[in-house]
Amino acid sequence: MRGRVQGVGYRAGCVRRASELGLSGWVRNLPDGSVEVEAEGVPLMLSELLLWCEMGPYGAQVSSVASNRVPPTGSDWFEIRR
């Protein structure tokens, strides 16, 4: 995610939403000011998380979202990575 996505609770909100959707994976800030998310789970729930990512939490101003498929890792939790 690019835009104003750091310093607005984006990662915590993403963890909350992913957990509500039963997804696993992680979210982290990148040095360039963007946020990276890797999630796995039911395709419909992944689509719901993507919709959330396009909006973000209150105060975020998401300007772009890129989506790629990656192999599942089999993790069973969603966390903030540093």
pLDDT, tens only, 14-61: 999 999 999 999 999 999 999 999 999 999 999 999 999 999 999 999
Considering the domain boundaries, does residue 69 fall inside one?
A: no
11 is an active site residue: yes
CB 50 within 8 A of CB 39: no
Task: Domain count for the chain, please give it.
Answer: 1
Q: Which two structure tokens, joined as six digits, stand for 19?
A: 């957990």
Considering the domain boundaries, does residue 8 fall inside one?
A: yes
CATH number at residue 26: 3.30.70.100
Domain housing 51: 2-64+75-81
Catalytic one among 4, 29, 68, 69? 29
Considering the domain boundaries, does residue 44 fall inside one?
A: yes
Considering the domain boundaries, does residue 25 fall inside one?
A: yes
Q: What is the pTM of this model?
A: 0.93
Bin 74: left if φ > 0, else alpha if -120 < ψ < 50, else beta. Answer: left
CB 25 within 8 A of CB 18: yes
Catalytic one among 11, 16, 68, 81? 11
Q: Which two structure tokens, joined as six digits, stand for 73?
A: 């890792």
